[in-house]
Structure 1
Amino acid sequence: MLTREEDRFVRVADLDGSAIGFVDAVLARPHEEAERQLLRELALPRVLVNALAVQRGHWRSGAGAGLMTAVEQWARARGAHLITLDTYATSPVSVPFYERRMGYHRQSIVFAKRLR
């Protein structure tokens, strides 16, 4: 699936001309066959955050929160009803950031099993 340029959001946080973080997100338009899907969210415009990264030396500086706030503003302006993202369930950094700082909640669990 190709993403139209206007449906992509990429921003870089910089400090004194040096990149210290970035965010990459895309707008997902309602699924063509949403009425046949089990997930109601597929009938709504929503934003998927593909990546958020901040250099370790700049954690808790506000850079990540600023990037996520920018994504949320962009998503609202495009009529999105939901933002989703993935992170590791055991991350001592990203889980508290998304839950406590940004107000996100856990919605699903993805299971994985290594075969080799």
Structure 2
Amino acid sequence: MHTLDHPSPNQIRIDDVLSALADPMRRRIVAQLAEGHHDQACIAFELPISKSTSTDHFRVLREAGVIEQRYQGSAILNRLRCGTLDHSFPGLLNAIVRAERKASTASTSLT
């Protein structure tokens, strides 16, 4: 079975997490994961970017320890590492998701 590398909980560093979450597209992915099902396939995300760029964003989030990815057949399923992140950085993930929702609401009310 094909697996993807993930950092263990003690390898997740705040600098890597914050760097991964500094990009608006990656915050959008995290917000969608927070609002959706536990496992979401990469194709479930409607992102205004190419497939290769999307793949890179998911890789950055995985390598930073923000998401967990696993293969199910030919699909890659994504899940937030809520428990791990909340244990290491209490409240960070919730704050990011709240801020992203607020920014998304503000941008849609401007249009």
TM-score bin (small chain): under 0.3
Higher relative contact order (CA 8 A, sep 6+): 2
Larger radius of gyration: 1
| TM-score normalised over the length of structure 1 | 0.26
| TM-score normalised over the length of structure 2 | 0.27
Name whichever structure is richer in helix by fraction: 2
Name whichever structure is richer in strand by fraction: 1
